[in-house]
Amino acid sequence: MFFGWSAFYQVTGSASAALVGLLFIVATLSSRQSEGASQGQRLFTTPTVFHLSLVLIMSALALAPPSSMYRPAAAMCVVALAACVNCLPLAIRLSRLTNPSHWSDFWCYGAAPAAACLALVGATGAVWAGAGDAAHFVGLVLLILLALGIRNAWDLITWLAPRRPS
């Protein structure tokens, strides 16, 4: 199923794990903020950590030695479905913000990750069904989630940095 993909999943998993760790450090260092900045930090940090953690979990599942071809694919499909359960309500909540800090907030923190999670459900379902190139599609979706996570982490850090208390 994912034969020959170990280097890809090691790199994507390691990158996402490192970014999650860095986000925890940034969240800790910027924890003393005004109430408005603190609410924004909570709203945008959680989905960023979640999407990067999703890449890490999916990479770990892809690297796990399979006892059968279908167990890792089934686990990946369940994780992808759980991600949709998390992403879709967040996208709806972000679409209802009356005063977003930037026009890209809904698209990069809400809509694009939700679409990627839906695509991940389809990709992992195709792997579970034994479709030939499904592993390529899973890899592509994970790269999209990793790129979104990098973009969102950078956006969050540059938004938090000027708001540090003096």
Class of residue 118 by CB neighbours under 10 A (exposed 0-12, middle 13-18, buried 19+): middle
Q: What is the mean pLDDT of residues 81-102?
A: 84
Contacts 24+ apart (CB under 8 A), 20-27: 20/49, 20/52, 20/53, 20/56, 22/153, 23/48, 23/49, 23/52, 23/153, 23/156, 24/49, 26/156, 26/157, 26/160
Q: What average pLDDT does the segment 82-91 reach?
A: 90
- Please give the pLDDT value at position 139: 95
pLDDT mean over 143-160: 89
Q: pLDDT at residue 79 above 60?
A: yes
Specify the higher pLDDT residue, 29 or 144. 144
State the pLDDT at residue 165. 54
pLDDT at 155: 87
The pLDDT mean for the chain works out to: 85
Judge whether residue 117 has pLDDT over 60. yes
Q: Is the pLDDT score of 90 beyond 80?
A: yes
Cβ atoms 106, 134 nearer than 8 A: no
pTM: 0.85
pLDDT in tens, 26-71: 777 766 665 555 666 667 888 889 999 999 999 999 898 877 767 8
Q: Taking 60 as the threshold, does the pLDDT of residue 163 lie above it?
A: no
